[in-house]
């Protein structure tokens, strides 16, 4: 039986395949480290063969990615000066393929298919964690938190935050209420429960701020384009003022106390200072992509010991920019920052000019969450993780014409009913 190309690569016809591919990808991003190489091969099998279906349509004009690819290229080139060239070469190639898969998804999966796939995938991820997971003791907090089948409660919290966010976006922005309401409700309920028992303050705070922003943008969308821009600028100025007042009047300390944290952010401020000291030794190009947390290297071993990481793996500086500074220097920080800001700015420009662009609306909120988390977590610079997939998917969407990035709601409903 010959499968029509459209059922695989046409965003308006591939709802079933696209939803399946995204859902499986979510599970791979969550647990690939638990199951070895097989999930990664499945992930590649879902996306890379689409190039052979129609190269021109799936890849598009690669020249449009001139601002998206440089950070990934730098990661690959860093193998030539890396202190662990083998580790850098392996992980940089993995990161490069992650970028390719995400860009393929951007050209073949519309926002409605992506949202459905994320909701189903997150639901499966949380159910698996509830069935197979366990609690972990935090030596800094002195308490136990549910980490599920993840190595950290913050990873579970992030997936739960993603589940809540996409439940909100699918219900209120895409308004896919009749078609997939049971999935939305199930994903939201499981995500709320998982977020509560994970005790991830980062996930709760960034999710709350993102949802507040999305509600505000939803209210602004009822006005004309010129009015929307004026209201957004006024809102941004007011928001910055409130944030400044919040920190000045002691709100920050009160917030930390409410979540059982201290001013060191559970030891993160010391970790950041250590990262800056390491980066000062190789400030321009760093020690090489993924070449710091290597067993046998003195600084890494010392920090693992100080933070009770007995496995001596899977740790980071809990700050995206410090992590990048250590690995790829100031060149890497600049390239990644430009990628993040241009993606966010392009999505915002689309949203303010066209209030019907649901892809821009949802992805702008998602990028905002990633940006806020970037100061306390490392979500977008590793292969086979949900954060880097979302970043490059969103960046890829901005290279498409706005009408191309949208999906037909009527077509989508017809496919779901088949």
Q: Where are the domains of the chain?
A: 6-417
The model's confidence at residue 236, banded by pLDDT at 50, 70 and 90, is confident
The string of DSSP letters for 43-76 reads HHHHHTTHHHH-HHHHH--GGGGTTTSHHHHHHH
Per-residue pLDDT at 257 exceeds 90: no
- 194 closest CA partner among 143, 144, 150, 146: 146
- DSSP code for 280: T
* Residues whose CB is less than 8 angstroms from the CB of residue 10 and which lie 6 or more positions away in sequence, other chains included: 108
Q: Residue 281 and residue 228: Cα distance in Å, rounded?
A: 47
Q: Tell me: the pLDDT tens digits for 123-141?
A: 999 999 999 988 887 665 6
The more confident residue out of 409 and 340 is 340
Location of structure tokens 């992506």: 114
Summarize the confidence of residues 351-360 as an average pLDDT.
Answer: 86
The strand ranges marked E within 44-197 are: 134-138, 143-148
Summarize the confidence of residues 291-297 as an average pLDDT.
Answer: 95
Cβ neighbours of 264 (radius 10 Å): 13
The model's confidence at residue 403, banded by pLDDT at 50, 70 and 90, is low
């Amino acid at each position: 039986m010959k499968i029509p190309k459209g059922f695989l690569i046409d965003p308006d016809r591939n709802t079933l395949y696209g939803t399946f591919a995204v859902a499986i990808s979510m599970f791979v991003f969550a647990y690939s480290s638990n199951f070895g190489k097989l999930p990664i091969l499945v992930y590649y099998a879902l996306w890379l063969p689409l190039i052979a279906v129609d190269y021109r349509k799936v890849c598009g004009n690669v020249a449009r990615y001139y601002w998206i690819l440089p950070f990934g290229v730098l990661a690959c080139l860093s193998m030539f000066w890396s202190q662990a060239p083998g580790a850098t070469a392996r992980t940089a190639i993995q990161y490069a393929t992650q970028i390719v898969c995400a860009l393929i998804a951007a050209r073949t999966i519309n926002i409605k298919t992506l949202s459905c796939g994320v909701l189903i995938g997150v639901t499966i991820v949380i159910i698996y964690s509830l069935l197979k997971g366990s609690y972990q003791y935090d030596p800094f907090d002195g308490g136990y938190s549910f980490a599920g089948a993840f190595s950290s409660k913050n990873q579970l919290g992030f997936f739960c935050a993603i589940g809540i966010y996409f439940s909100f976006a699918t219900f209120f922005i895409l308004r896919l209420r009749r078609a997939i309401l049971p999935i939305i409700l199930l994903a939201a309920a499981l995500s709320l429960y998982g977020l509560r028992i994970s005790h991830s303050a980062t996930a709760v705070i960034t999710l709350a701020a993102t949802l507040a922003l999305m509600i505000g943008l939803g209210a602004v969308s009822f006005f004309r384009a010129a009015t929307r821009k004026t209201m957004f600028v006024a809102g941004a100025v007011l928001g910055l003022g409130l944030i400044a007042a919040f920190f000045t009047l002691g709100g920050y300390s009160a917030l930390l106390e409410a979540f059982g944290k201290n001013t060191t952010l559970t030891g993160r401020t010391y970790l950041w200072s250590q990262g800056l000291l390491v980066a000062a030794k190789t400030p321009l190009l760093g020690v090489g992509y993924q070449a710091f947390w290597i067993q046998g290297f003195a600084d890494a071993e010392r920090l693992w010991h100080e933070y009770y990481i007995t496995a001596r793996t899977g740790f980071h500086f809990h700050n995206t920019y410090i992590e990048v500074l250590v690995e790829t220097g100031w060149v890497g920080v600049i390239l990644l920052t430009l990628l993040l800001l241009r993606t966010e700015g392009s999505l915002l420009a689309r949203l303010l000019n066209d209030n019907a662009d649901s892809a821009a609306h949802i992805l702008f909120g998602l990028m905002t969450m990633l940006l806020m988390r970037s100061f306390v977590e490392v979500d977008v610079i590793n292969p086979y993780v949900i954060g880097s997939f979302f970043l490059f998917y969103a960046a890829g969407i901005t290279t498409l014409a706005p009408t191309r990035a949208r999906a037909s709601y009527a077509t989508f409903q017809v496919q779901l009913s088949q």
